[in-house]
Amino acid sequence: MLALALEFAVAAHGSQTRKGTQVPYVSHLLQVSGLVLEHGGDLEQATAALLHDVVEDTPATLEQVAASFGPGIAAIVADCTDTGPDEAPGSKRPWIERKREHLAHMRGVSARSALIVGCDKLHNLRSSVADLEVLGPAVLGRFNAPPAQQRWLYGELLAALRDKLPPRLHAELTALCERYAALTEGL
């Protein structure tokens, strides 16, 4: 199932790269899937991790995910997605509106879905902090929201998922949020 999900994700994401880099987007998907397994997730969760952005960032639909991988994986992907069914890449609601709604949804997700969300944010924060430390604040221009809003989002997400994440994952996310805040203070 992992191989089929990777093939589906690669086809859907095509030649996308990580924001502001030349890193193929599939690298993020592989990293998140690996983190899910590292933090105790099962193969269904690792499969969902490979697909976690496919509905949000490509023309693929939840119906296609469900048809190819089943309702359990589609439900996790839906929990990871901050766009509505009528939105598509390039035509989404404002960032803050999507994030507020997504945070409200996060308070009710299962621990199974929370693990994928947590691992996604862990990889994103690792990348952001490393880029900030090496390249400086210029890297912040690649994101859709300023640092203050990013700090708010990560703080609220940590609070929403606190009791749903493995302790080691929550601790690493907390430490990275603090490092990100220190690096972006006043920006």
Catalytic residues: 56-57
Residue with tokens 């703080």: 155
**Nearest partner of 41 among 121, 113, 108, judged by Cα:** 113
DSSP state of 139: G
DSSP state of 143: S
**DSSP SS3 for 91:** strand
Checking 147-152 for CB contacts under 8 A at 24+ apart, the result is: 147/180, 147/184, 147/187, 148/184, 149/95, 149/96, 149/99, 150/180, 150/184, 151/177, 151/180, 151/181, 151/184
